[in-house]
Protein backbone atom coordinates (compact mmCIF):
# COMPACT_ATOMS: atom_id res chain seq x y z
CA UNK A 1 0.00 0.00 0.00
CA UNK A 2 2.87 2.38 0.81
CA UNK A 3 4.38 1.79 -2.64
CA UNK A 4 1.01 2.48 -4.30
CA UNK A 5 0.52 5.64 -2.24
CA UNK A 6 4.04 6.79 -3.10
CA UNK A 7 3.43 6.16 -6.81
CA UNK A 8 0.13 8.09 -6.71
CA UNK A 9 1.87 10.98 -4.94
CA UNK A 10 4.61 11.07 -7.58
CA UNK A 11 2.03 11.04 -10.36
CA UNK A 12 0.12 13.89 -8.75
CA UNK A 13 3.32 15.92 -8.40
CA UNK A 14 4.17 15.20 -12.03
CA UNK A 15 0.70 16.25 -13.18
CA UNK A 16 0.95 19.39 -11.06
CA UNK A 17 4.36 20.16 -12.55
CA UNK A 18 3.04 19.84 -16.09
CA UNK A 19 -0.01 21.91 -15.19
CA UNK A 20 2.29 24.74 -14.10
CA UNK A 21 3.86 24.92 -17.56
CA UNK A 22 1.99 27.71 -19.30
CA UNK A 23 1.79 27.62 -23.07
CA UNK A 24 0.53 29.99 -25.71
CA UNK A 25 -0.19 29.18 -29.32
CA UNK A 26 0.33 31.66 -32.12
CA UNK A 27 -0.02 31.22 -35.84
CA UNK A 28 3.26 31.46 -37.72
CA UNK A 29 1.82 34.54 -39.42
CA UNK A 30 1.14 36.20 -36.06
CA UNK A 31 4.59 35.31 -34.72
CA UNK A 32 6.19 36.74 -37.84
CA UNK A 33 4.05 39.88 -37.59
CA UNK A 34 5.29 40.53 -34.06
CA UNK A 35 8.95 39.91 -34.97
CA UNK A 36 8.64 42.26 -37.95
CA UNK A 37 6.93 44.81 -35.70
CA UNK A 38 9.85 44.67 -33.27
CA UNK A 39 12.50 45.29 -35.93
CA UNK A 40 10.47 47.92 -37.78
CA UNK A 41 9.59 49.70 -34.53
CA UNK A 42 13.27 50.02 -33.63
CA UNK A 43 14.13 51.45 -37.02
CA UNK A 44 11.28 53.97 -36.92
CA UNK A 45 12.12 55.03 -33.37
CA UNK A 46 15.84 55.62 -33.92
CA UNK A 47 15.14 57.58 -37.10
CA UNK A 48 12.59 59.75 -35.31
CA UNK A 49 14.85 60.49 -32.33
CA UNK A 50 18.06 60.89 -34.32
CA UNK A 51 18.15 64.72 -34.55
CA UNK A 52 17.85 65.06 -30.76
CA UNK A 53 20.49 62.58 -29.59
CA UNK A 54 22.32 64.15 -26.63
CA UNK A 55 21.08 67.61 -27.63
CA UNK A 56 18.98 67.79 -24.45
CA UNK A 57 21.15 66.71 -21.53
CA UNK A 58 19.68 67.21 -18.08
CA UNK A 59 16.49 68.67 -19.53
CA UNK A 60 13.53 67.52 -21.58
CA UNK A 61 12.34 68.75 -24.98
CA UNK A 62 9.59 71.31 -24.49
CA UNK A 63 6.11 70.82 -25.93
CA UNK A 64 6.45 73.95 -28.06
CA UNK A 65 9.17 72.25 -30.14
CA UNK A 66 7.75 70.10 -32.91
CA UNK A 67 9.59 66.87 -33.76
CA UNK A 68 10.42 65.98 -37.36
CA UNK A 69 8.71 63.23 -39.38
CA UNK A 70 7.77 63.08 -43.06
CA UNK A 71 7.25 60.67 -45.93
CA UNK A 72 10.64 59.52 -47.23
CA UNK A 73 12.49 60.41 -44.01
CA UNK A 74 13.35 56.76 -43.30
CA UNK A 75 14.94 56.10 -46.67
CA UNK A 76 16.73 59.44 -46.73
CA UNK A 77 18.23 58.87 -43.28
CA UNK A 78 19.32 55.29 -43.97
CA UNK A 79 21.13 56.40 -47.12
CA UNK A 80 22.60 59.68 -45.92
CA UNK A 81 23.11 59.17 -42.18
CA UNK A 82 23.85 55.44 -41.85
CA UNK A 83 25.91 55.89 -38.67
CA UNK A 84 22.70 56.73 -36.79
CA UNK A 85 21.71 53.07 -36.86
CA UNK A 86 24.41 51.76 -34.51
CA UNK A 87 21.81 50.07 -32.31
CA UNK A 88 20.56 48.22 -35.41
CA UNK A 89 23.84 47.17 -37.02
CA UNK A 90 25.19 46.11 -33.63
CA UNK A 91 22.12 43.86 -33.21
CA UNK A 92 22.66 42.49 -36.69
CA UNK A 93 26.30 41.68 -35.98
CA UNK A 94 25.13 39.21 -33.34
CA UNK A 95 22.19 37.95 -35.43
CA UNK A 96 24.67 37.20 -38.22
CA UNK A 97 26.87 35.19 -35.86
CA UNK A 98 23.86 33.07 -34.83
CA UNK A 99 23.03 32.59 -38.50
CA UNK A 100 26.57 31.47 -39.37
CA UNK A 101 27.34 29.29 -36.36
CA UNK A 102 23.97 28.33 -34.86
CA UNK A 103 22.35 28.90 -31.49
CA UNK A 104 25.38 27.44 -29.72
CA UNK A 105 27.83 29.85 -31.33
CA UNK A 106 30.84 30.27 -29.00
CA UNK A 107 31.36 33.48 -27.04
CA UNK A 108 34.55 34.41 -28.88
CA UNK A 109 32.71 34.43 -32.21
CA UNK A 110 30.44 37.26 -30.98
CA UNK A 111 33.30 39.15 -29.34
CA UNK A 112 35.54 38.95 -32.40
CA UNK A 113 32.74 39.83 -34.82
CA UNK A 114 32.06 43.20 -33.27
CA UNK A 115 35.68 43.88 -32.26
CA UNK A 116 36.86 43.56 -35.86
CA UNK A 117 33.85 45.20 -37.53
CA UNK A 118 34.39 48.35 -39.57
CA UNK A 119 32.01 50.63 -37.68
CA UNK A 120 33.02 53.23 -35.11
CA UNK A 121 32.00 52.60 -31.51
CA UNK A 122 31.84 54.58 -28.29
CA UNK A 123 31.65 54.10 -24.52
CA UNK A 124 31.31 50.50 -23.27
CA UNK A 125 31.37 49.05 -26.78
CA UNK A 126 34.63 50.76 -27.70
CA UNK A 127 36.22 49.97 -24.34
CA UNK A 128 35.23 46.33 -24.78
CA UNK A 129 36.51 46.31 -28.36
CA UNK A 130 39.87 47.74 -27.29
CA UNK A 131 40.19 45.12 -24.55
CA UNK A 132 39.45 42.29 -26.98
CA UNK A 133 41.90 43.60 -29.56
CA UNK A 134 44.57 43.66 -26.84
CA UNK A 135 44.02 40.08 -25.74
CA UNK A 136 41.45 40.38 -22.97
CA UNK A 137 38.70 37.76 -23.19
CA UNK A 138 35.01 38.14 -22.45
CA UNK A 139 33.54 38.54 -19.91
CA UNK A 140 36.51 40.38 -18.34
CA UNK A 141 36.55 42.92 -21.18
CA UNK A 142 33.23 44.30 -19.92
CA UNK A 143 34.01 44.14 -16.20
CA UNK A 144 34.02 47.60 -14.58
CA UNK A 145 37.64 47.58 -13.41
CA UNK A 146 38.63 47.01 -17.04
CA UNK A 147 35.90 49.17 -18.56
CA UNK A 148 35.03 52.63 -17.17
CA UNK A 149 31.80 52.53 -19.21
CA UNK A 150 30.49 49.27 -17.75
CA UNK A 151 27.20 50.89 -16.66
CA UNK A 152 26.63 52.75 -19.93
CA UNK A 153 23.69 52.07 -22.22
CA UNK A 154 25.54 50.04 -24.88
CA UNK A 155 24.17 46.52 -24.50
CA UNK A 156 20.78 47.93 -23.56
CA UNK A 157 20.40 49.35 -27.09
CA UNK A 158 21.66 46.12 -28.69
CA UNK A 159 19.67 43.50 -26.77
CA UNK A 160 16.51 43.65 -28.89
CA UNK A 161 17.57 40.56 -30.85
CA UNK A 162 17.82 38.46 -27.66
CA UNK A 163 14.14 39.01 -26.85
CA UNK A 164 12.86 38.82 -30.42
CA UNK A 165 14.48 35.41 -30.88
CA UNK A 166 13.10 34.23 -27.49
CA UNK A 167 9.33 34.86 -27.69
CA UNK A 168 7.68 34.18 -24.34
CA UNK A 169 11.01 32.93 -22.95
CA UNK A 170 12.59 35.71 -20.89
CA UNK A 171 15.03 33.40 -19.13
CA UNK A 172 16.30 32.15 -22.48
CA UNK A 173 16.77 35.79 -23.52
CA UNK A 174 18.67 36.38 -20.26
CA UNK A 175 20.99 33.46 -21.00
CA UNK A 176 21.79 34.97 -24.40
CA UNK A 177 22.42 38.32 -22.71
CA UNK A 178 24.66 36.71 -20.11
CA UNK A 179 26.91 35.52 -22.90
CA UNK A 180 26.89 38.54 -25.21
CA UNK A 181 26.11 41.44 -22.86
CA UNK A 182 29.20 40.88 -20.74
CA UNK A 183 31.44 41.49 -23.75
CA UNK A 184 30.93 45.21 -23.19
CA UNK A 185 28.95 45.74 -19.97
CA UNK A 186 28.63 44.69 -16.34
CA UNK A 187 26.25 45.40 -13.46
CA UNK A 188 23.54 47.94 -14.24
CA UNK A 189 24.87 48.27 -17.79
CA UNK A 190 24.29 44.56 -18.33
CA UNK A 191 20.93 44.65 -16.53
CA UNK A 192 19.71 47.20 -19.09
CA UNK A 193 20.10 44.61 -21.83
CA UNK A 194 18.60 41.81 -19.73
CA UNK A 195 15.56 43.99 -19.00
CA UNK A 196 15.08 45.07 -22.61
CA UNK A 197 15.42 41.49 -23.83
CA UNK A 198 12.82 40.37 -21.29
CA UNK A 199 10.37 43.13 -22.32
CA UNK A 200 10.61 42.00 -25.94
CA UNK A 201 10.15 38.41 -24.86
CA UNK A 202 7.07 39.24 -22.78
CA UNK A 203 5.64 41.30 -25.64
CA UNK A 204 4.68 38.01 -27.29
CA UNK A 205 2.57 36.96 -24.30
CA UNK A 206 0.44 40.01 -23.50
CA UNK A 207 -0.92 43.25 -24.93
CA UNK A 208 -0.84 44.87 -21.47
CA UNK A 209 2.09 47.32 -21.31
CA UNK A 210 2.09 47.41 -17.51
CA UNK A 211 2.28 43.62 -17.37
CA UNK A 212 5.09 43.44 -19.93
CA UNK A 213 7.18 45.98 -18.01
CA UNK A 214 6.56 44.57 -14.52
CA UNK A 215 7.11 40.95 -15.56
CA UNK A 216 10.33 41.82 -17.37
CA UNK A 217 11.61 43.61 -14.27
CA UNK A 218 11.45 40.28 -12.42
CA UNK A 219 14.59 39.25 -14.34
CA UNK A 220 16.59 41.93 -12.46
CA UNK A 221 17.82 41.44 -8.85
CA UNK A 222 15.80 43.61 -6.46
CA UNK A 223 18.90 44.79 -4.59
CA UNK A 224 20.34 46.38 -7.74
CA UNK A 225 20.03 50.10 -8.42
CA UNK A 226 18.70 49.29 -11.88
CA UNK A 227 15.73 47.44 -10.39
CA UNK A 228 15.12 50.19 -7.84
CA UNK A 229 15.17 52.92 -10.49
CA UNK A 230 12.70 51.18 -12.81
CA UNK A 231 10.51 50.16 -9.87
CA UNK A 232 10.44 53.83 -8.86
CA UNK A 233 9.26 54.79 -12.34
CA UNK A 234 6.44 52.24 -12.12
CA UNK A 235 5.45 53.71 -8.75
CA UNK A 236 5.66 57.32 -9.93
CA UNK A 237 3.54 56.44 -12.95
CA UNK A 238 0.84 55.23 -10.59
CA UNK A 239 1.20 58.36 -8.45
CA UNK A 240 1.31 60.79 -11.39
CA UNK A 241 -0.63 58.92 -14.10
CA UNK A 242 -1.09 61.98 -16.33
CA UNK A 243 2.22 63.79 -15.66
CA UNK A 244 5.22 62.19 -17.33
CA UNK A 245 7.26 65.33 -16.70
CA UNK A 246 6.78 64.94 -12.96
CA UNK A 247 8.15 61.40 -13.17
CA UNK A 248 11.04 62.75 -15.30
CA UNK A 249 11.82 65.23 -12.51
CA UNK A 250 11.71 62.47 -9.88
CA UNK A 251 14.16 60.38 -11.94
CA UNK A 252 16.41 63.42 -12.32
CA UNK A 253 16.42 64.15 -8.59
CA UNK A 254 17.10 60.62 -7.41
CA UNK A 255 19.01 58.79 -10.13
CA UNK A 256 20.74 61.23 -12.50
CA UNK A 257 24.16 61.43 -10.82
CA UNK A 258 26.48 59.23 -12.86
CA UNK A 259 29.54 57.87 -11.05
CA UNK A 260 31.06 55.66 -13.75
CA UNK A 261 31.06 57.05 -17.29
CA UNK A 262 33.94 59.56 -17.42
CA UNK A 263 31.91 61.78 -19.78
CA UNK A 264 28.93 61.87 -17.43
CA UNK A 265 30.62 62.40 -14.05
CA UNK A 266 30.06 65.98 -12.79
CA UNK A 267 28.25 66.75 -16.07
CA UNK A 268 24.65 66.91 -17.34
CA UNK A 269 25.45 64.27 -19.98
CA UNK A 270 24.03 60.91 -18.93
CA UNK A 271 24.38 57.66 -20.85
CA UNK A 272 23.80 55.52 -17.76
CA UNK A 273 21.69 52.46 -18.55
CA UNK A 274 19.19 52.75 -15.72
CA UNK A 275 18.35 56.42 -16.35
CA UNK A 276 17.85 55.90 -20.07
CA UNK A 277 15.90 52.69 -19.38
CA UNK A 278 13.68 54.81 -17.13
CA UNK A 279 12.94 57.02 -20.15
CA UNK A 280 12.08 53.93 -22.22
CA UNK A 281 9.66 52.76 -19.53
CA UNK A 282 8.15 56.24 -19.25
CA UNK A 283 7.50 56.21 -22.99
CA UNK A 284 5.83 52.81 -22.75
CA UNK A 285 3.73 53.47 -19.64
CA UNK A 286 2.65 57.03 -20.38
CA UNK A 287 2.32 56.24 -24.09
CA UNK A 288 -0.56 53.87 -23.30
CA UNK A 289 -0.03 51.78 -26.48
CA UNK A 290 -0.32 54.89 -28.64
CA UNK A 291 2.67 54.71 -31.01
CA UNK A 292 2.92 58.47 -31.40
CA UNK A 293 2.74 59.24 -27.68
CA UNK A 294 5.23 56.48 -26.89
CA UNK A 295 7.87 57.76 -29.33
CA UNK A 296 7.25 61.40 -28.43
CA UNK A 297 7.67 60.89 -24.67
CA UNK A 298 10.71 58.60 -24.98
CA UNK A 299 12.33 61.19 -27.26
CA UNK A 300 11.33 64.27 -25.26
CA UNK A 301 12.94 62.80 -22.13
CA UNK A 302 16.28 63.76 -23.72
CA UNK A 303 19.76 62.27 -23.23
CA UNK A 304 20.11 59.27 -25.60
CA UNK A 305 17.04 60.50 -27.46
CA UNK A 306 17.45 58.25 -30.51
CA UNK A 307 18.14 54.95 -28.79
CA UNK A 308 15.37 55.31 -26.20
CA UNK A 309 12.50 55.74 -28.69
CA UNK A 310 14.11 52.97 -30.73
CA UNK A 311 13.82 50.57 -27.79
CA UNK A 312 10.33 51.75 -26.84
CA UNK A 313 9.16 51.64 -30.45
CA UNK A 314 10.56 48.16 -30.94
CA UNK A 315 8.87 46.76 -27.83
CA UNK A 316 5.56 48.40 -28.70
CA UNK A 317 5.96 47.21 -32.29
CA UNK A 318 6.36 43.63 -31.02
CA UNK A 319 3.27 43.99 -28.83
CA UNK A 320 1.12 45.47 -31.61
CA UNK A 321 2.62 43.64 -34.56
CA UNK A 322 3.86 45.14 -37.80
CA UNK A 323 0.42 45.41 -39.39
CA UNK A 324 -0.96 47.55 -36.54
CA UNK A 325 1.85 50.10 -36.51
CA UNK A 326 0.05 53.23 -37.77
CA UNK A 327 0.49 54.02 -41.45
CA UNK A 328 1.79 57.48 -40.52
CA UNK A 329 4.87 55.89 -38.95
CA UNK A 330 5.39 53.45 -41.81
CA UNK A 331 5.57 56.19 -44.44
CA UNK A 332 8.43 55.21 -46.73
CA UNK A 333 9.24 52.08 -44.74
CA UNK A 334 8.71 49.75 -47.70
CA UNK A 335 11.29 51.72 -49.67
CA UNK A 336 13.80 51.39 -46.83
CA UNK A 337 13.27 47.73 -45.96
CA UNK A 338 15.54 46.39 -48.71
CA UNK A 339 18.44 48.78 -47.97
CA UNK A 340 21.27 46.94 -46.16
CA UNK A 341 22.35 48.65 -42.97
CA UNK A 342 25.84 50.04 -43.39
CA UNK A 343 28.70 47.73 -42.33
CA UNK A 344 26.38 44.72 -42.83
CA UNK A 345 24.90 42.71 -45.66
CA UNK A 346 21.52 42.60 -43.91
CA UNK A 347 18.44 44.71 -44.55
CA UNK A 348 15.17 44.76 -42.62
CA UNK A 349 13.73 42.29 -45.11
CA UNK A 350 16.64 39.93 -44.38
CA UNK A 351 16.32 40.20 -40.61
CA UNK A 352 12.56 39.64 -40.72
CA UNK A 353 13.24 36.23 -42.29
CA UNK A 354 16.31 35.40 -40.21
CA UNK A 355 14.64 36.57 -37.00
CA UNK A 356 11.67 34.25 -37.55
CA UNK A 357 14.02 31.35 -38.28
CA UNK A 358 15.98 31.86 -35.06
CA UNK A 359 12.81 32.30 -32.99
CA UNK A 360 11.38 29.03 -34.28
CA UNK A 361 14.64 27.22 -33.50
CA UNK A 362 14.66 28.67 -29.99
CA UNK A 363 11.01 27.79 -29.38
CA UNK A 364 11.59 24.13 -30.28
CA UNK A 365 14.79 23.99 -28.24
CA UNK A 366 12.97 25.25 -25.14
CA UNK A 367 10.00 22.90 -25.04
CA UNK A 368 7.73 24.46 -27.65
CA UNK A 369 6.21 22.77 -30.68
CA UNK A 370 5.69 23.61 -34.33
CA UNK A 371 2.64 21.98 -35.86
CA UNK A 372 2.19 23.32 -39.35
CA UNK A 373 1.22 26.97 -38.98
CA UNK A 374 0.53 26.65 -35.26
CA UNK A 375 3.41 27.58 -32.96
CA UNK A 376 3.12 26.53 -29.31
CA UNK A 377 5.47 28.33 -26.94
CA UNK A 378 6.36 27.05 -23.46
CA UNK A 379 6.14 30.37 -21.64
CA UNK A 380 8.75 30.93 -18.93
CA UNK A 381 8.21 32.65 -15.59
CA UNK A 382 10.87 35.38 -15.35
CA UNK A 383 13.70 34.65 -12.93
CA UNK A 384 16.26 37.17 -11.64
CA UNK A 385 19.77 36.92 -13.04
CA UNK A 386 22.85 37.06 -10.81
CA UNK A 387 23.65 40.13 -8.75
CA UNK A 388 26.44 42.40 -10.00
CA UNK A 389 27.48 45.91 -9.01
CA UNK A 390 29.85 48.14 -10.90
CA UNK A 391 31.99 50.79 -9.19
CA UNK A 392 31.31 49.22 -5.83
CA UNK A 393 32.61 51.31 -2.93
CA UNK A 394 34.11 54.09 -5.01
CA UNK A 395 32.82 57.62 -5.52
CA UNK A 396 33.94 60.48 -7.78
CA UNK A 397 35.09 63.37 -5.58
CA UNK A 398 36.73 65.94 -7.87
CA UNK A 399 38.27 66.74 -11.24
CA UNK A 400 41.84 67.97 -11.56
CA UNK A 401 44.06 69.10 -14.47
CA UNK A 402 47.20 67.37 -15.72
CA UNK A 403 50.59 68.91 -16.51
CA UNK A 404 52.82 68.16 -19.48
CA UNK A 405 56.50 67.64 -18.90
CA UNK A 406 58.86 70.24 -20.37
CA UNK A 407 59.79 67.81 -23.12
CA UNK A 408 56.10 67.13 -23.91
CA UNK A 409 56.70 63.42 -23.50
CA UNK A 410 54.89 62.79 -20.21
CA UNK A 411 51.70 63.70 -18.35
CA UNK A 412 51.90 64.21 -14.58
CA UNK A 413 49.43 64.74 -11.75
CA UNK A 414 49.00 64.06 -8.05
CA UNK A 415 45.80 63.29 -6.15
CA UNK A 416 44.43 62.02 -2.88
CA UNK A 417 41.94 59.16 -3.05
CA UNK A 418 41.57 55.54 -4.14
CA UNK A 419 41.49 55.80 -7.92
CA UNK A 420 41.41 57.91 -11.07
CA UNK A 421 40.48 58.08 -14.73
CA UNK A 422 42.65 60.14 -17.08
CA UNK A 423 40.54 61.42 -19.94
CA UNK A 424 42.00 62.25 -23.33
CA UNK A 425 42.26 61.05 -26.90
CA UNK A 426 44.89 59.99 -29.39
CA UNK A 427 42.63 59.48 -32.43
CA UNK A 428 40.96 62.01 -34.69
CA UNK A 429 37.49 61.25 -36.11
CA UNK A 430 37.67 58.78 -39.04
CA UNK A 431 41.45 58.38 -38.74
CA UNK A 432 42.60 55.03 -40.20
CA UNK A 433 46.32 55.24 -39.51
CA UNK A 434 48.24 52.28 -38.11
CA UNK A 435 50.30 54.50 -35.80
CA UNK A 436 50.16 53.58 -32.11
CA UNK A 437 51.50 55.59 -29.19
CA UNK A 438 53.49 53.40 -26.81
CA UNK A 439 53.17 54.59 -23.22
CA UNK A 440 54.10 53.63 -19.69
CA UNK A 441 51.91 54.29 -16.67
CA UNK A 442 53.75 54.90 -13.39
CA UNK A 443 51.87 55.15 -10.09
CA UNK A 444 53.95 56.16 -7.10
CA UNK A 445 57.07 55.59 -9.23
CA UNK A 446 56.10 51.99 -10.06
CA UNK A 447 55.36 50.82 -13.60
CA UNK A 448 51.84 49.34 -13.48
CA UNK A 449 50.83 49.24 -17.15
CA UNK A 450 52.15 49.90 -20.66
CA UNK A 451 49.06 51.04 -22.58
CA UNK A 452 49.09 51.06 -26.38
CA UNK A 453 47.09 54.07 -27.59
CA UNK A 454 46.12 53.87 -31.29
CA UNK A 455 45.71 56.98 -33.44
CA UNK A 456 43.13 54.97 -35.41
CA UNK A 457 39.61 56.01 -34.43
CA UNK A 458 38.08 52.55 -34.80
CA UNK A 459 40.66 50.87 -32.56
CA UNK A 460 41.34 53.75 -30.13
CA UNK A 461 41.25 53.51 -26.35
CA UNK A 462 38.32 55.53 -25.04
CA UNK A 463 40.28 56.86 -22.05
CA UNK A 464 44.05 57.14 -21.77
CA UNK A 465 44.35 55.17 -18.53
CA UNK A 466 42.67 54.50 -15.18
CA UNK A 467 43.07 52.67 -11.89
CA UNK A 468 40.35 52.14 -9.30
CA UNK A 469 41.70 49.92 -6.50
CA UNK A 470 44.51 51.96 -4.99
CA UNK A 471 45.01 52.27 -1.21
CA UNK A 472 43.43 55.43 0.12
CA UNK A 473 45.97 58.24 0.33
CA UNK A 474 48.16 60.54 -1.75
CA UNK A 475 49.38 59.26 -5.10
CA UNK A 476 51.67 60.47 -7.86
CA UNK A 477 50.95 59.47 -11.47
CA UNK A 478 52.94 59.78 -14.66
CA UNK A 479 51.94 58.62 -18.14
CA UNK A 480 55.13 58.59 -20.20
CA UNK A 481 54.99 58.62 -24.03
CA UNK A 482 57.74 56.36 -25.32
CA UNK A 483 57.38 57.41 -28.98
CA UNK A 484 56.16 61.04 -29.20
CA UNK A 485 54.92 62.12 -32.61
CA UNK A 486 54.73 65.48 -34.37
CA UNK A 487 52.29 64.06 -36.92
CA UNK A 488 49.63 62.69 -34.58
CA UNK A 489 47.94 64.49 -31.71
CA UNK A 490 48.05 63.27 -28.13
CA UNK A 491 45.33 65.22 -26.33
CA UNK A 492 45.14 65.09 -22.54
CA UNK A 493 41.95 65.89 -20.69
CA UNK A 494 41.13 66.20 -17.03
CA UNK A 495 41.46 63.60 -14.29
CA UNK A 496 38.45 62.26 -12.41
CA UNK A 497 39.48 61.40 -8.85
CA UNK A 498 37.71 58.68 -6.86
CA UNK A 499 37.65 57.89 -3.16
CA UNK A 500 35.91 55.50 -0.77
CA UNK A 501 33.30 58.02 0.41
CA UNK A 502 31.14 60.56 -1.44
CA UNK A 503 31.72 64.26 -0.94
CA UNK A 504 28.92 66.43 0.43
CA UNK A 505 28.71 69.16 -2.18
CA UNK A 506 27.42 71.85 0.19
CA UNK A 507 30.18 71.27 2.73
CA UNK A 508 32.80 71.09 -0.02
CA UNK A 509 31.70 74.49 -1.31
CA UNK A 510 32.02 76.04 2.16
CA UNK A 511 35.64 74.97 2.63
- As a whole number, mean pLDDT of residues 462-491 equals 97
* Residue 389 domain flag: no
* Residue 12 domain flag: no
Q: In the chain, how many domains are there?
A: 2
- As a whole number, mean pLDDT of residues 246-257 equals 98
Give me the helix-helix angle, 170-180 and 187-202, nearest 10°: 150
Secondary structure letter of residue 272 according to DSSP: B
Q: What's residue 248's pLDDT?
A: 98
CA-nearest of 166, 153, 160, 167 to 124 is 153
Contact 318, 160 (CB under 8 A): no
Q: Which residues pair with 496 in a beta bridge?
A: 399, 421
Task: Round the average pLDDT of the chain to a whole number and report it.
Answer: 94
Q: Give the span between the Cα atoms of 393 and 497, in whole angstroms.
A: 14
Q: What's residue 503's pLDDT?
A: 87
pLDDT class of 21 with cuts at 50, 70, 90: confident
Q: What's residue 20's pLDDT?
A: 54
pLDDT class of 439 with cuts at 50, 70, 90: very high
Residues 139, 252, single domain; the answer is yes
* Residue 448 domain flag: yes
* Residue 372 domain flag: yes
Q: Give the span between the Cα atoms of 194 and 219, in whole angstroms.
A: 7
CATH assignment of the domain containing 419: 2.60.120.260
Number of Cβ within a 10 Å radius of residue 183: 32
Q: What's residue 8's pLDDT?
A: 46
* Residue 10 domain flag: no
Q: What's residue 504's pLDDT?
A: 78
CA-nearest of 328, 243, 228 to 282 is 243
The DSSP result for 73-124, as a single string, is HHHHHHHH-GGGGHHHHHHHHHHHHHHHH-TT--HHHHHHHHHT-SS---HH
Percentage with pLDDT > 90 across the chain: 94
Q: Which residues pair with 25 in a beta bridge?
A: 376
Q: Give the span between the Cα atoms of 236 and 250, in whole angstroms.
A: 8
pLDDT at 252 over 50: yes
Residues 310, 334, single domain; the answer is yes
Q: What's residue 116's pLDDT?
A: 97
pLDDT at 510 over 50: no
Q: Which residues pair with 436 in a beta bridge?
A: 454
**What 3-state DSSP class applies to 511?**
coil
pLDDT at 12 over 90: no
Residues 370, 401, single domain; the answer is no
Range of the domain at 290: 22-379
Residues 342, 445, single domain; the answer is no
pTM of the model: 0.95
Polymer length of the chain: 511
Q: Which residues pair with 439 in a beta bridge?
A: 481
CA dihedral 44, 170, 110, 434 (to 10 degrees): 50
Contact 42, 314 (CB under 8 A): yes
Residues 419, 374, single domain; the answer is no
Percentage with pLDDT > 70 across the chain: 95
Residues 374, 403, single domain; the answer is no
pLDDT class of 505 with cuts at 50, 70, 90: low
- As a whole number, mean pLDDT of residues 423-442 equals 97
Q: What's residue 6's pLDDT?
A: 44
* Residue 334 domain flag: yes
Q: Give the span between the Cα atoms of 104 and 462, in whole angstroms.
A: 31
* Residue 235 domain flag: yes
pLDDT class of 313 with cuts at 50, 70, 90: very high
Residues 364, 401, single domain; the answer is no
- As a whole number, mean pLDDT of residues 83-100 equals 95
β-strand 369-371 against 436-443: which pairing, if any?
unpaired
Residues 56, 149, single domain; the answer is yes
Helix H, strand E, coil C: the string for 343-384 is CCCCCHHHHHHHHHHHHHHHHHHCCCEEECCEEEEEECCCCC
Q: Give the span between the Cα atoms of 360 and 163, in whole angstroms.
A: 13
Secondary structure letter of residue 151 according to DSSP: T
Q: Give the span between the Cα atoms of 150 and 264, in whole angstroms.
A: 13
pLDDT class of 62 with cuts at 50, 70, 90: very high
Residues 422, 358, single domain; the answer is no
Residues 102, 244, single domain; the answer is yes
Is residue 253 packed enough to be buried (19+ CB in 10 Å), middle (13-18) or exposed (0-12)? Answer: exposed
H or E element in which residue 221 lies: none
pLDDT at 13 over 70: no
pLDDT at 11 over 50: no
Q: What's residue 299's pLDDT?
A: 98
CATH assignment of the domain containing 267: 1.10.4080.10
Residues 351, 409, single domain; the answer is no
pLDDT in tens, 335-369: 999 999 989 999 999 999 999 999 999 999 999 99
Residues 373, 399, single domain; the answer is no
Contact 376, 23 (CB under 8 A): yes
pLDDT in tens, 381-391: 999 999 999 99
Q: Give the span between the Cα atoms of 404 and 479, in whole angstroms.
A: 10
* Residue 11 domain flag: no
Q: Which of 333, 352, 379 lies at the terminal end of a domain, its last residue?
A: 379
- As a whole number, mean pLDDT of residues 115-143 equals 97
pLDDT in tens, 319-340: 999 999 999 999 999 999 999 9
Amino acid sequence: MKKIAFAICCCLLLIQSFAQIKTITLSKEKLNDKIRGGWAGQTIGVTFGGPYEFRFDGTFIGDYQSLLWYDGYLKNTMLNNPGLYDDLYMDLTFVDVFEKYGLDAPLDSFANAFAHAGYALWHANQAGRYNILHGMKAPMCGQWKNNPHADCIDYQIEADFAGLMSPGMPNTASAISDKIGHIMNYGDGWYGGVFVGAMYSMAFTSNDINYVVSEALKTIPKQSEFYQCINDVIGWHKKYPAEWKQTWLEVQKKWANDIGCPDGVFAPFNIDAKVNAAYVVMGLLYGEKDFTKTLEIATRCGQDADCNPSTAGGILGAIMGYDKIPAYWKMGLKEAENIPFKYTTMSLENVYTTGLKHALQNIERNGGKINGDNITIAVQSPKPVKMEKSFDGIYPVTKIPVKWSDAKDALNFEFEGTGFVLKGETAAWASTTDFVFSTQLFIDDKLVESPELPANYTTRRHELCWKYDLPKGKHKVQLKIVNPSKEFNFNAGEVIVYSDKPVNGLLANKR
